[in-house]
Structure formats: structure tokens, C-alpha cells
């Protein structure tokens, strides 16, 4: 019960007062009730959802809505497209962005600040501003309605993200590692591929997953550059449900749940990589 340390702990992490607890309760409800409703609706029978005395929880849960997603060829196609395009985007972003990040982190040359500025500002450009020019460019290159078109378009926002994420991680690599490699007679290329990149594998995976998630979530480019055969899930959901209006909310919520699930899984994995990246002794040198 005694000691300055306990007092300090209490000040830094005070107990919550009753009004504080109430406020927390309300805000947590605001955060989590919609998630509950998404899941509950996906598990409800259609008749229950539209009944006048409709229940607030799935009294008689069903998997029909979730199964229905996998019976819908258009949505399944979109799912496959999402996997291909998001993976492609992640690979391109990390490959190109990894080199860029290493360059910005460990080298100094004329134009370095200009390049950094370009990416800093570049990540703030809304996709809609690039949309028309990208459309015309891809169209004249004969790439419209291909996976390549989407990967190119997604890279506009994932590249700055991966560059800055990886630069931050590489900044933490002590320069002594590079000096040692040099003394040992390793070439610059070998140092990069055999020393630096292996050390930041958790970072590379994290960056790849972030890029994957951003690509997975985009709607604007998916809606305009991919066409019906190559569109990803966000566009697929919009096409499949938006014109039906209120017709089939349980199916839409089930499809939304399935669309969100990979991101939740990745996030759980991502947290572990974050931790391991920070905890690994090798990086501390």
C-alpha cells in the first residue's frame, strides 16, 4: 500500500471515476454495436429481418446467407480478383518501395529530399484526382479492365505508404552493421540483399500486409478501371447489391462479413509481427 512508486502508478494510470466508466461504456457500445449488428444480420433468416416484430438478435441463426455468398459466381469471381490484385499490389509495393526505403534511409545524394517530398505529398493526393488520367492512360496502353490496371492504380497509394513504413524501420538499423559488411568485403548489392533485407523481414511483411489491406479495400479504382470481370470485392458488392436497394440485407451483410474477415485475420497476424519486429534482438545490434 505504500511507496512513492505506487503513488506514481496511480497518477499515470488513474482509476476511472463512475462518470468515466459510464462514458467508456457508451463509447464502447458505439464502437462495437454496429459490428454486432453486422454479424447478427448475416446470421438471421430473411423472414426474421423483415418481420414487423423482428428480433434484435438471431433467435434462430442460419448460415444460409454466408453459404449463399459462395454459391454466387459473380461474388466468388470478385473474391478471386481481390486476392490476385491485392497480392500483386503488395508484392510490387514492397519490392519497389523496399529499395526506395533503403535508399532514403541509408544514403545521401542530391535530390534525395525532393524525392522524399514527392512521396510525402503524393500520399495525400485523392484517388479521384488521378482517376481520369489513369483511365485514359491505361486505355491507350490497352490495359483497361485488366489486373495490371488495378495493380498500377492501387500502387499510387500503397507505394508512399510502404516507402515511409520501411524507411522508419530501416532508420532503426544501426549503421555499424553496414560498416561491418563493408569491412568484410561485401558488395553494396550483397549487403542489401543478404544483410539488410533479411534483418527487416518482419517490416517487409508488415508493409506488404498494409498494402494488401489498402488494395483490398479500394472502391473507386475497382469500380472504374477493372470492368465486371476483373473487379474486386468492394466493387462486386456494390454492383451486386446497390441497385437492389433494400432487397437482400442479410446476404449483403454476410458478404460484407466475408469481405472483412481477411482483414481481421491479417490484422491479428500483423500485431504479432509488429511485436516481433520491435522485440527481435538482431535489430538492436
Partner 1 sequence: MAGTPAPATTGGTTTTGTTTTGTTTRRTTLSARDSIFGFMIALPAVLVFLVIAIYPLLSSLGTSLYDQSLLRPERSFVGVGNYATVWGEFVGHVGTTLTFAALATVFPVIIGVTLAMLLNARIRGRNVLRGLLMLPWLLPGVVVSFLWAWIFNDSYGVVDHVLSLVGLPGISLLGDPVGAMAAVVIAKTWNSFPWIMVVALAVLQTLPGEQLEAATIDGATRFQRFRFVSLPHLLGPVTLVAVLEFIYNFGNFDTVFVMTGGGPGDSTTTLAVSLYQLAFGSYELGQASAMGVLWLVLLAFVTGGYLLLNRRLERS
- Kindly state whether residue 180 participates in binding partner 1, applying the rule CB under 8 A: no
- Kindly state whether residue 143 participates in binding partner 1, applying the rule CB under 8 A: no
- Kindly state whether residue 76 participates in binding partner 1, applying the rule CB under 8 A: no
Among 1, 2, 3, 15, interactor with partner 1 by CB under 8 A: 15
Among 150, 200, 249, 277, interactor with partner 1 by CB under 8 A: 249
- Kindly state whether residue 278 participates in binding partner 1, applying the rule CB under 8 A: no
- Kindly state whether residue 74 participates in binding partner 1, applying the rule CB under 8 A: no
C-beta of 83 vs 137, nearer to partner 1:
137
> Of 60-68, 69-77, 197-205, 249-257, which part binds partner 1 (CB under 8 A)?
249-257
Binding track, positions 181-200, relative to partner 1; x by CB under 8 A: -------x---x--------
- Kindly state whether residue 102 participates in binding partner 1, applying the rule CB under 8 A: yes
> Of 67-75, 198-206, 246-254, 274-282, which part binds partner 1 (CB under 8 A)?
246-254
The least distance separating partner 1 from the CB of residue 89, rounded to whole angstroms, comes to: 12
| Distance set, CA 136 to CA 85, 131, 142, 226, 249 (Å) | 20, 9, 10, 13, 36
The least distance separating partner 1 from the CB of residue 177, rounded to whole angstroms, comes to: 10
Among 137, 172, 195, 205, interactor with partner 1 by CB under 8 A: 137
Among 3, 18, 56, 185, interactor with partner 1 by CB under 8 A: 56
- Kindly state whether residue 267 participates in binding partner 1, applying the rule CB under 8 A: yes
**How many residues can be counted in the chain?**
285
- Kindly state whether residue 256 participates in binding partner 1, applying the rule CB under 8 A: yes
- Kindly state whether residue 83 participates in binding partner 1, applying the rule CB under 8 A: no
Q: In the range 197-216, which residues lie near partner 1 by CB under 8 A?
A: 210, 213-214, 216
- Kindly state whether residue 1 participates in binding partner 1, applying the rule CB under 8 A: no
Q: Determine contact, residues 161/211, Cβ cutoff 8 Å.
A: yes
Q: Determine contact, residues 169/203, Cβ cutoff 8 Å.
A: yes
> Of 58-66, 197-205, 256-264, 276-284, which part binds partner 1 (CB under 8 A)?
256-264
- Kindly state whether residue 109 participates in binding partner 1, applying the rule CB under 8 A: yes
- Kindly state whether residue 172 participates in binding partner 1, applying the rule CB under 8 A: no
Between CA 202 and CA 100 the distance in angstroms is 17
Tell me, by CB under 8 A, how many residues bind partner 1: 111
**N-terminal to C-terminal alpha carbon distance within the chain:** 40
The least distance separating partner 1 from the CB of residue 284, rounded to whole angstroms, comes to: 17
Q: What is the SS3 assignment for the chain?
A: CCCHHHHHHHHHCCCCCHHHHHHHHHHHHHHHHHHHHHHHHHCCCHHHHHCCCCCCCCCCCCCHHHHHHHHCHHHHHHHHHHHHHHHHHHHHHHHHHHHHHHHHHHCCCCCHHHHHHHHHHHCCCCHHHHHHHHHHHHHHCCCCCCHHHHHHHHHHHHHHHHHHHHHHHHHCCCHHHHHHHHHCCCCHHHHHHHHHHHHCHHHHHHHHHHHHHHHHHCCHHHHHHCHHHHCCHHHHHHHHHHHHCCCCHHHHHHHHHHHHHHHHHHHHHHHHHHHHHHHCHHHHC
Amino acid at each position: 500500500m505504500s511507496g512513492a512508486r505506487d503513488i506514481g502508478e496511480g497518477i499515470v494510470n488513474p482509476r476511472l471515476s463512475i462518470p468515466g466508466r459510464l462514458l467508456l461504456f457508451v463509447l464502447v457500445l458505439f464502437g462495437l454495436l454496429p459490428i454486432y449488428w453486422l454479424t447478427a444480420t448475416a446470421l438471421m433468416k430473411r423472414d426474421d429481418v423483415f418481420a414487423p416484430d423482428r428480433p434484435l438478435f438471431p433467435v434462430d441463426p442460419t448460415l444460409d446467407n454466408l453459404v449463399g455468398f459462395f454459391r454466387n459466381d459473380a461474388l466468388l469471381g470478385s473474391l478471386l480478383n481481390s486476392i490476385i490484385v491485392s497480392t500483386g499490389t503488395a508484392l510490387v509495393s514492397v519490392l519497389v518501395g523496399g529499395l526506395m526505403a533503403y535508399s532514403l534511409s541509408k544514403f545521401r545524394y542530391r535530390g534525395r529530399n525532393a524525392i522524399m517530398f514527392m512521396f510525402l505529398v503524393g500520399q495525400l493526393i485523392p484517388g479521384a484526382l488521378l482517376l481520369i488520367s489513369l483511365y485514359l492512360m491505361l486505355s491507350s496502353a490497352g490495359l483497361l479492365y485488366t489486373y495490371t490496371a488495378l495493380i498500377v492504380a492501387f500502387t499510387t497509394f500503397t507505394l508512399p505508404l510502404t516507402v515511409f513504413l520501411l524507411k522508419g524501420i530501416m532508420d532503426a538499423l544501426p549503421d555499424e552493421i553496414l560498416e561491418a559488411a563493408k569491412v568484410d568485403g561485401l558488395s553494396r548489392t550483397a549487403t542489401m540483399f543478404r544483410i539488410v533485407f533479411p534483418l527487416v523481414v518482419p517490416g517487409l511483411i508488415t508493409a506488404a500486409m498494409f498494402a494488401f489491406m489498402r488494395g483490398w479495400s479500394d472502391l473507386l479504382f475497382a469500380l472504374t478501371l477493372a470492368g465486371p470481370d476483373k473487379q474486386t470485392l468492394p466493387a462486386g458488392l456494390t454492383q451486386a447489391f446497390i441497385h437492389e436497394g433494400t432487397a437482400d440485407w442479410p446476404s449483403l451483410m454476410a458478404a460484407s462479413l466475408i469481405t472483412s474477415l481477411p482483414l481481421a485475420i491479417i490484422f491479428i497476424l500483423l500485431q504479432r509481427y509488429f511485436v516481433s519486429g520491435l522485440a527481435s534482438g538482431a535489430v538492436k545490434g
